[in-house]
Structure 1
């Protein structure tokens, strides 16, 4: 949905900005919740006594729920009415924060984020729909731009506030803020204007089931590649398929269901029936390239957002506030770049900006793979994060703008659904893959280092479960080894091996991500090549995740 010059715009009566308060804060609500999860990583690991990769399931489940349900949520909002649905899901979001505050086990936290994700699946399309119903002309463009600012501002504030509270008080008060925001959003929702819905709108339940199942299986498969086994099933796998791990099987079945969803949707469109999503928004290779590029850049961002808190809070044993400081250069850079990149739309075509953006992210990840140490606050590391933030901020804004400007206004909801599905699936998969990749590399590094260190006898190795390796601090490792018959010299050697393996896993992981980023230059090279005077409107439409 783009805003074009309209000679009648100046004749329109200016609407009150009061309804926008609710929509702006709803975007803040979702973004603050998402940004608070990595900051809370260390606190939840300590409280629940589970590995960080298990706690990261809260991030994965949130993204999974949004991605699986956002298309259905858009149709549900059209059928029941956006204002009523908006109020209902805000209440559900508030309930999710209550679950987080009072969670006794990690299962409670995962359930809380599942509820939050299901709510966000309707909030995401509701924001754009309600802006369209409450504002016109220039006010509408301003309101849409405000959502992008809300997402960036809440991300930065969540790291600052969450880091401070997590260090001084604990991680739970962070979600008290989420609850308070939800209450304010609900109160201001009574200023919103909207229709009563259209009972004639039909939801394609077959397509909804296909895309939902596909996303659930893909996410579960990627998230459990390490725990269940990348090929052969481990003891932790719930079952096996002829000896194979269910994780890759889930991935394959998920891809097949996704393809079936597209076949089914195309068939309904040929028959003149209303689809769950209008695939004409992906009619050309340029729009498809934008979706591919969006998936990759969001997945890369999720990998970085998981990796940095993991190393700072779990490996180094530092505070959430230290995490917020380490992430600040990246978050501020993303915010500034996402705001300023619009200025380049009339001077450079999307293809040029897209290719340059992925060159920056590739160079940054490659640089970080060589300069990163156990201290994230060194100047070379900060420079690498800033460069990555420039590329990432430019790309996320650009690729969604390409989709919006290529689709007619009446398909804005479908574009929002596609964006919500792609972005949240990428976030969930990126987090899951980052965890599985780093743990796998850690296992390889430890196994190799043990062989190269004769001071670690096989009898000691047998007392440690090498099949259940994960990221732990040096102090935690010493505690584990105290329960064995290891000597002081052997403990010191094991701690040294742990440090080397962790850093090696990080460096190699970043190198692999750099390779993925480099491959993304290919779809970026297929983005549109507008001439400056042909650009409909440079203002990006931002609907929160």
Structure 2
């Protein structure tokens, strides 16, 4: 069943996959507008809610590579379904949470584990079902666009639900969407049989996950203890170095590691992964920074905060809807470059206009530009990464790609959030946004080094 499906079955396959990416991205940003309500109801602080959000993104990132590898052993559709069930249980538990501890268990741990299991199959199944270059690019475009819209519209939808019902209703909404995805995906058959004899590198999984957790926890500790921050980040870097030594030694011994070192030998893919990381760092970092500033400093409620984020959603939708038109006229490298330029300009506008305005409209132009710039380049970056490898490495590159993206999301919330929370009343907002602009400059630099020839061949409608 690896041939190209016709239009109607293709839509049936793509819909649940795209919805899965939407709800997981929504989960990463919708809590940003509930900070005041949740911290009050759960008897915690802004930093407590920031920790829960960051841990959710971090668990996703830490387990995404093992999650991608498990698809080869247990099958893509099975991992997808199990991930949906685990995620749904976590959403229900979060809705019923009496305190921060249960929220972290349901949202950060269970929803994070569920996402790590279900997202790699989304990209692997898309690659396997859509074998023709143009249709695959369109499919990735739909999935990436819904992921971006989920993250950008999360504050608006979350604000509407919180104002109409309560913040707990947002988790019930997630559970209902998960049920719908399970129903819609019942007819999807795995195009490649599972291989139960396929080895799984447990040591590699532990080392990679532990290294990422330690590194990001170090960032979260920055405003409390500088020595602790440095110690955790150094320990995380050391564990990650051990991970790379481990997988190389397994390959030299003729054994299958968690991640093939061949994935890191592709310069084009490596550069595109840097752009992916920067894109999601900016998207989630902006969402957390602006939402927190609006609620804590300016005293806006959930619905007011969500409505302000409509500008970012509209910008992302506009560029996503025009993706095919752009792709027919511009190479993917050009789209990524222009996307970063527009996004960085949007951050600059957001800093300048907010500092000189006391009303909500000062946020709209900057958020609109940020949304448009990110929407223009999310899909090309995914296309470049996935298209750099053959089918036998799709499980691994899908896991690595999602890991890097979600690591960017956790970096965005951790870095910008830590800077913001440490100085909410004074210069924290501007400092956090400057840090996000710096990430944009790094992404732009990586995009300038992408090869023109390789990407010109891949510039298909997205």
- Shared fold (TM-score, shorter chain, > 0.5): yes
Residue deviations 1:117-141 (CA, integer Å, cap 9, x gap): 1111111111133345666657766
- The whole-number CA distance in structure 2 between the counterparts of 1:418 and 1:218 is 17
Whether the 8 Å contact between 2:69 and 2:399 is mirrored in structure 1 is no
Residue 291 of structure 2 corresponds to 309
How does 1:236-385 map onto structure 2 within 5 Å?
A: 245-345=227-327, 347-373=329-355, 375=358, 377-379=360-362, 381-385=363-367
Residue of 61, 65, 71 corresponding to 1:71: 65
1:192 corresponds to = 188
Equivalent position of 1:480 in the other structure: none
How far did residue 250 of structure 1 move? 0.9
Aligned partner of residue 257 in structure 2, secondary structure = coil
CA positional deviation for 1:169: 2.2
Q: Describe the SS at the equivalent of 2:453.
A: coil
1:117-266 alignment to 2 at 5 Å?
Answer: 117-131=112-126, 137=132, 143-155=139-151, 158-194=154-190, 197-227=194-224, 229-230=225-226, 245-266=227-248
- Tell me what 2:394 maps to: 412
Secondary structure class of the residue paired with 1:318:
coil
On the 8 A contact 1:68/1:213 being kept in 2, the answer is: yes
Choose between structure 1 and 2: higher helix proportion.
Answer: 2
Q: Using the TM superposition, give the Cα deviation of residue 202 of structure 1 relative to its aligned residue in structure 2, in angstroms.
A: 0.8
Residues 427-451 of structure 1, C-alpha deviation per residue, up to 9 Å, x if partnerless? 11210111211233x2xxxxxxxxx
Give the C-alpha shift of residue 221 in structure 1.
Answer: 0.9
Question: Closer, same or farther in 2 for the Cα pair 1:88/1:286, shift >3 Å?
Answer: closer
* Equivalent residue pairs, number: 457
Q: Equivalent residue of 2:427, what SS?
A: helix
Partner deviation per Cα, 1:235-263 (whole Å, 9 max, x = no partner):
xxxxxxxxxx3222111111122222223
Q: Secondary structure of 1:190's match? A: coil
SS of the counterpart of 1:365?
Answer: helix
Aligned-partner Cα distance in 1 for 2:326–2:15: 29
CA 1:345–1:192 in structure 2 vs 1: closer, same or farther (change >3 Å)? closer
Say which one has the larger Rg.
Answer: 1
Conserved? CA contact 1:361–1:392, under 8 Å: yes
**Equivalent of 2:434, from 495, 500, 511?**
511
1:353-380 per-residue CA deviation (whole Å, 9 max, x = no partner) reads: 333333333332223222214746225x
Q: CA deviation at 1:421?
A: 0.8
Given candidates 49, 52, 55, the residue that maps to 1:58 is: 52
Separation of aligned partners in 1, 2:401 and 2:222? 26
Change (3 A) 1:157 1:327: closer
Partner Cα distance (1:419, 1:78) in 2? 16
Find the aligned partners of 2:110 and 2:25 in 1 and give their Cα distance: 15
CA–CA separation in structure 2 for the residues paired with 1:349 and 1:416 = 23
Deviations 1:145-176 (A, max 9, x none): 43234324444554433212212321111111
The range that moved more, 43-52 or 387-396, is 387-396
1:290 to partner: Cα distance: 1.7
**8 Å Cα contact 2:152-2:371 kept in structure 1:** no
Shift, 1:297, TM fit: 2.4
Q: Counterparts of 1:426-505 in structure 2 under 5 Å?
A: 426-440=408-422, 442=423, 471=424, 502-505=425-428
Contact 2:269/2:384, CA 8 A, preserved across alignment: yes
Structure 1 residue runs without a partner (length 5+) = 231-244, 443-470, 472-501, 541-545
* Cα deviation 1:328-360 (Å, max 9, x = unaligned): 111221232244345434544444433333333
Q: For residue 209 of structure 1, report the CA deviation from its aligned partner.
A: 1.3
CA 1:289–1:164: 2 relative to 1, 3 Å? same
Could you say what the CA RMSD is over the residues aligned between the two structures, in angstroms? 2.7
Moved more, 431-440 or 112-121: 431-440
Q: CA 1:289/1:26 → structure 2, altered by over 3 Å: closer, same or farther?
A: closer
Gaps of 5+ in 2: none
| Residue number among 445, 448, 456 corresponding to 1:525 in the alignment | 448
**SS of equivalent residue, structure 1 residue 40:** helix
Structure 1: how far apart are the matches of 2:13 and 2:333? 37
